[in-house]
Amino acid sequence: MTTTHAEPVHGGLPHEPEKATAEGRNKVLAFWLFLGGEAVLFGTLFATFLALRGQTNEGPSANELFHLPLVAAATFLLLVSSLTSVFAIQAMHRNRPKLLRNWLLVTVALGACFLGLEIYEFSEYVRHEEFGMTTSAFSSAFYTLVGFHGAHVAFGIVWISLLIGQLAYKGLTVVTAPKIYVSAMYWHFIDVVWVFIFTVVYLLGKVG
Amino acid sequence: MAAEQHTRDNGVKRRHRQEGPQKHVMIFVLSAVLTLIAFAAVAAGDVNPVFAVLLLLVMAVIQVFMQMGYWMHLKDKGHMLPIIFILGGFLIAGTCIIMALYWVWWD
Amino acid sequence: MAQAAHTLKSPKPAAHGVKRYTGLMDWITTVDHKKIAILYLWAGGFFFGIGGIEALLIRWQLIKPMNDFVDAQTFNELITMHGTTMIFLGVMPIIFALMNAVIPLQIGARDVAFPFLNALGFWTFLFGGLLLNLSWLMGGAPDAGWTSYTPLSGAAYSGTHGVDFYTIGLQIAGLGTLIGGINFLATIITMRAPGMSFMRLPMFAWTTFITSAIILFAFPAITVGLVLLTFDRILGANFFVPGGGGSPVLWQHIFWIFGHPEVYILILPAFGMISEVIPTFARKRLFGYSSMVFATILIAFLGFMVWAHHMFTTGLGPVANALFAVSTMLIAVPTGIKIFNWLFTLWGGSVRFTTPNLFASGFIPTFTMGGVTGVMLASAPADFQFHDTYFVVAHFHYVIVGGLVLGLFAGLHYWWPKMFGRMLSETLGKWTFWTFIIGFHLTFFVQHFLGLMGMQRRVFTYLPNQHFDTLNLVSTIGAGLMGLGMLFFLANVWITSRRPPDAGSDPWEDGRTLEWSIPSPPPEYNFKQTPLVRGLDALWKEKAAGNKGMMPAEPIGRIHMPSATPLPFLMSAGIFIAGLGFMFSRDDFASRLVGFLFNNYIVTGLGLLIAFGAMLMRSLYDDHGWHIEPEELEGR
């Protein structure tokens, strides 16, 4: 990682290739709008979880269930992956496709580890704690909120992986750059949602 | 237009100042510290629940605003509409949460 | 369809080796906002017709006491499907039809920001709507009311697949609406012609903008609600099941956090249409333009803060009830501003009562009556009396039919020449107006009194000698008259479609906004040269300055166009198959093969494969589009 501050732009690609075309600018703007909608989507899921968090129906409660070390590990994986996707966009702005690809690969790998931890966590709950979707209103709300986030992570992993493929095939252009930029926005948003999940679901669940 | 100028000038006259990674690493470190404090506070046990809830929420909000401002570039110029729409989303989400906390269960 | 296809046949030869489809494939693959508008209009009209027939059947059942025309179960299905179909599949698509037909033209754009997404939004809406209506043929329609309150709509009390069709059909259709909303937001933000600042946007463009913002923030909430209900019903989750710790009240909250903004999604576009029609035919600029903009934004904001007024009787307590009563009454203020602005626009104008203006003028008092009963309902103590009676039915039909549908009629008559190149017949239009509005008041005015006298909504019949008999008979006669009005309109459309397309670019002669500066129907690229906007009511301003048309903001040049593609259709079809597969994943089938395919989520997987496969194709193969050369534009 170089820290040259005034690097010349190579190959005629503009400084912010994601905003070089009207299509690119439209895409970035519309993705912000979409994230506004996503905020409501997760807001409703959080609301549901908060309303039903105490309704354990004689099943396990949050305090009995959660293991903080696992959650802390998952949190740091996602936080680091958010940072690496920042590096990826910086590499893109410096027009360095190889570096960009590498940072995207790191991001995807960290995301996959996070998802692996989550699947492990869910399977532990189902197998050893008798805590499934149908156990209680709390369990339904927990699996739906955290599962929705997990599904977003899974979608992000597939999406960014495909973009890495496209990057190799098509190169870094004013067409591929907005796609990569938007996927990075999506990835940051997933991390932002996770900040609220680990705080509201896990930590406040432990506090009671 | 700007792009054409770049190639013509061969990057001599108009260079874009690339932002370095330091700022983003700073945000990361701050986020990590806030996260650590949050986990540590809960792991330590016997904290006042009201205080803990406030502390955790405030730290989460600080972290989220820092990440959205710097990592998602909301603090940069030309982001007024994105800010309006993302805050609109947060406003409705907050409304839902108030609903969930006060108006679902009552005696 | 024949008329539409004829009207929009491209006058130019296929050029540049671009693949151009004809016939049905043209409609399936189109990304042209003007054609998508016509698709929305026909699809919305089709569902509106189904919803209307359901309404007539409901009224026929209630024509006399103890009628046995339909049984209680069928009646429940009819009222559920009438409400759901009319709101989600009837009027919203017709609103989208007019938005698609008019908004890019009004803001001086050649296209919407995302032509592909525009097509995708239409097809997901259509497939969602078809899925919902398939329920009539596949074991029974949803029967828990359009609000689908739990636990009635839960698996324990609603055993058929009806409510599953409701939840999954609406999720798919809602996806289409959300996509359309984002597209219009982006279009209005980024595609405006030079000089078209936000405070020069025509009112219909403003209301479309705000409506789309409401869609963006309201539809995710109902999507979550529907997902939770689906999980309850199919996966055995406990969100709304009291026995498992769930809360039925939570469903009501989630539904109305979406549901109340939804009524503003419906009415704001009508406000916009009325605000275009009235200045045109009063030949005066809209009174208080900036206060109209402000009122629209305020209504949208307040619209999110009042949902619990639908739940006064659930027992939220005096504090919540008072809060929501006050916030609800507040909405009367910006709405009143609008009513007065329309009146002041008419005041002193040289008013022409064309069909669109008749509908617009009929809208003002009718909608005001609906607004006044709204304030009555907002009073929480009084609502305990009104709740779930025909008073409520009268109220919301006054705002939705007396407000939105009259607005849609005004808008359709007004923009019909722009969409199809033919003026609708004024004579038949006036017949439509008078039969429809008289029928409307006959149907619903008396329902206020039925409600106050204690007739409950959603009852499939009633006992004689409770003073309900005559009023119900009157109401049914009114419904028949409304149906007659619709027939006049359809006859008008059919007769008009047989006439030559001879509408000029400004057929009402007093057009004020940009859509009247280009031919009717507009060419594929809308504007040969992007116009330069020099004020509010851009075309009127040029006319007043003695200019023939708009001043161009650019020389004639190549115009870039997006390529037609079948992918939106395929993607939506995939989602449709996945939804159907998921719905029947827990069923027993006579055929073992069919059972195997459904129970192992193979059908669901196949549908998702098609949907994501199409998405992947879209991502992998760049659409470079094609160009229209200046020579073609000059007709050489």
pLDDT, position B18: 66
Per-position DSSP letters for A1-41, written without gaps between them = ----SSPPPPTT--SSGGGSSHHHHHHHHHHHHHHHHHHHH
d(CA C595, CA C593): 5
pLDDT digits 0-9 by tens, A109-151: 999 999 999 999 999 999 999 999 999 999 999 999 999 999 9
pLDDT, position C5: 40
Q: Please answer whether residues A46 and A185 qualify as being in contact, where contact means their C-beta atoms are separated by less than 8 angstroms.
A: no
pLDDT band at B9 (very low <50, low <70, confident <90, very high): very low
Work out the percent of chain A whose per-residue pLDDT is above 90.
87
d(CA C590, CA C144): 28
What DSSP designation does C561 have? E
Give the contacts of C518 (CB within 8 A, at least 6 positions apart). Answer: C105, C505, C526, C527
Phi and psi at residue C627, to the nearest 5°:
-120, 150
CB–CB contact C239 A52 (8 Å) = yes
Question: Which chain C residue's Cα is nearest to B95?
Answer: C305
CB–CB contact A37 C244 (8 Å) = no
pLDDT, position B50: 87
Burial of A168 (0-12, 13-18, 19+ CB in 10 A): exposed
Residues on chain C touching B88 (C-beta within 8 angstroms): 213, 217
In the 3-class helix/strand/coil scheme, how is C434-502 assigned residue by residue?
HHHHHHHHHHHHHHHHHHHCCCECCCCCCCCCCCCHHHHHHHHHHHHHHHHHHHHHHHHHHHHHCCCCC
The shortest CB-CB distance from A195 to any of B15, B24, B64 is to B64
pLDDT, position A11: 55
Residues on chain A touching C246 (C-beta within 8 angstroms): 52, 55, 137, 140
d(CA A134, CA C53): 40
**Length of chain C in terms of residues written:** 636
CB–CB contact A38 B89 (8 Å) = yes
Per-position DSSP letters for C583-632, written without gaps between them = HTTT---SSHHHHHHHHTTHHHHHHHHHHHHHHHHHHHS----EEE-HHH
Give the contacts of C424 (CB within 8 A, at least 6 positions apart). Answer: C355, C413, C416, C417, C492, C493, C496
* A44-60 mean pLDDT: 96
- Tokens read off for A201: 């679901």
- Which H or E element spans position C120? helix C115-134
Work out the percent of chain C whose per-residue pLDDT is above 90.
92
CB–CB contact A144 C228 (8 Å) = yes
Instruction: Say whether pLDDT at C2 is over 60.
Output: no
pLDDT, position A15: 83
Q: Which residues pair with C532 in a beta bridge?
A: C551
CB–CB contact C221 A140 (8 Å) = no
Phi and psi at residue C216, to the nearest 5°:
-60, -40
| Plot region of B17 (φ>0 → left; ψ -120 to 50 → alpha; else → beta) | beta
Q: Which residues pair with C171 in a beta bridge?
A: none
CB–CB contact C304 B95 (8 Å) = yes
* C369-379 mean pLDDT: 96
The span from the first CA to the last CA of chain A, in angstroms, equals 44
- Tokens read off for C358: 């008749």
Task: Kindly report whether the global pTM for this prediction surpasses the value 0.90.
Answer: yes
The span from the first CA to the last CA of chain C, in angstroms, equals 31
pLDDT band at B6 (very low <50, low <70, confident <90, very high): very low
Letter for the amino acid at C462?
Y
Question: Which chain A residue's Cα is nearest to B18?
Answer: A5
Instruction: Say whether pLDDT at A167 is over 50.
Output: yes
Helix axes B80-102, C248-282, angle to 10 degrees: 140
Burial of C39 (0-12, 13-18, 19+ CB in 10 A): buried
CB–CB contact C237 A144 (8 Å) = yes
Upper half-sphere CA count for residue C447 (Cβ side, 13 Å): 30
Letter for the amino acid at C202?
P
pLDDT band at A208 (very low <50, low <70, confident <90, very high): confident
Q: For an interface test with B, give the residue of A3, A83, A191 to mutate (most B CBs within 10 A).
A: A83
Number of H helices, E strands in chain A: 7, 0
Instruction: Say whether pLDDT at A5 is over 80.
Output: no
| Number of other residues whose CB lies within 10 A of the CB of residue C72 | 12
pLDDT, position B15: 53
Which residue in this structure is represented by tokens 């057009």? C511
Letter for the amino acid at C436?
F
Of C599, B68, C237, nearest in space to A147 by CA: C237
Give the contacts of B80 (CB within 8 A, at least 6 positions apart). Answer: none
pLDDT, position B103: 94
pLDDT digits 0-9 by tens, C28-64: 999 999 999 999 999 999 999 999 999 999 999 999 9
Give the contacts of B44 (CB within 8 A, at least 6 positions apart). Answer: none
* A28-50 mean pLDDT: 97
pLDDT digits 0-9 by tens, C117-139: 999 999 999 999 999 999 999 98
- Tokens read off for A44: 């409703």
Q: Which ipTM score applies to this complex?
A: 0.94
pLDDT digits 0-9 by tens, C154-172: 999 998 899 999 999 999 9
pLDDT digits 0-9 by tens, C211-239: 999 999 999 999 999 999 999 999 999 99
Q: For an interface test with B, give the residue of C217, C301, C327 to mutate (most B CBs within 10 A).
A: C217
Helix axes C162-190, C203-230, angle to 10 degrees: 150
Upper half-sphere CA count for residue C417 (Cβ side, 13 Å): 22
Q: Please answer whether residues A107 and A160 qualify as being in contact, where contact means their C-beta atoms are separated by less than 8 angstroms.
A: yes
CB–CB contact B103 C253 (8 Å) = yes
The shortest CB-CB distance from A137 to any of C114, C178, C246 is to C246
Residues on chain A touching C216 (C-beta within 8 angstroms): 33, 36-37, 40
pLDDT band at C615 (very low <50, low <70, confident <90, very high): very high
Quote the distance between the C-alpha of residue C79 and its chain's center. 19
d(CA A137, CA A145): 12
Q: Please answer whether residues A134 and A140 qualify as being in contact, where contact means their C-beta atoms are separated by less than 8 angstroms.
A: yes
pLDDT digits 0-9 by tens, B68-78: 999 999 998 88
Helix axes C406-420, C92-106, angle to 10 degrees: 50
pLDDT band at C11 (very low <50, low <70, confident <90, very high): very low
Instruction: Say whether pLDDT at C626 is over 60.
Output: yes
pLDDT, position C636: 55
| Number of other residues whose CB lies within 10 A of the CB of residue C83 | 18
pLDDT, position B20: 77
The shortest CB-CB distance from A12 to any of B3, B25, B94 is to B3
* C547-558 mean pLDDT: 93
pLDDT, position A8: 38
Q: Please answer whether residues C356 and C428 qualify as being in contact, where contact means their C-beta atoms are separated by less than 8 angstroms.
A: no
The span from the first CA to the last CA of chain B, in angstroms, equals 66
d(CA C198, CA C188): 9
| Number of other residues whose CB lies within 10 A of the CB of residue B23 | 12
Helix (H, G, I), strand (E, B) or coil at A117: helix
Upper half-sphere CA count for residue A151 (Cβ side, 13 Å): 7
d(CA C174, CA C617): 24
Instruction: Say whether pLDDT at C430 is over 50.
Output: yes
| Number of other residues whose CB lies within 10 A of the CB of residue C250 | 25
11-30 in B: which are within 8 Å (CB) of C?
Answer: none
Give the contacts of C398 (CB within 8 A, at least 6 positions apart). Answer: C366, C367, C369, C370, C373, C444
Q: Please answer whether residues C286 and C201 qualify as being in contact, where contact means their C-beta atoms are separated by less than 8 angstroms.
A: no
Task: Report the alpha-carbon angle B70-A40-C316, nearest 5.
Answer: 135
**Least confident span in C4-8, C240-244, C375-379, C568-572:** C4-8
Instruction: Say whether pLDDT at B10 is over 70.
Output: no
Which residue in this structure is represented by tokens 């039919």? C401
pLDDT digits 0-9 by tens, B44-99: 877 788 888 999 999 999 999 999 999 999 998 889 999 999 999 999 999 999 99
Give the contacts of A89 (CB within 8 A, at least 6 positions apart). Answer: A180, A181, A184
The shortest CB-CB distance from A35 to any of B7, B19, B86 is to B86
Q: For an interface test with A, give the residue of C219, C239, C563, C609 to mutate (most A CBs within 10 A).
A: C239
* C394-405 mean pLDDT: 97
Neighboring chains of C (3 or more beta-carbon pairs < 8 A): A, B
Instruction: Say whether pLDDT at A7 is over 50.
Output: no
Instruction: Say whether pLDDT at A9 is over 50.
Output: no
CB–CB contact C238 A166 (8 Å) = no
Q: Please answer whether residues C459 and C45 qualify as being in contact, where contact means their C-beta atoms are separated by less than 8 angstroms.
A: no
Burial of C377 (0-12, 13-18, 19+ CB in 10 A): buried
- Tokens read off for C577: 């198959």
Q: Please answer whether residues B82 and A32 qualify as being in contact, where contact means their C-beta atoms are separated by less than 8 angstroms.
A: yes
pLDDT digits 0-9 by tens, C445-498: 999 999 999 999 999 999 999 999 999 999 999 999 999 999 999 999 999 999
* C344-350 mean pLDDT: 95
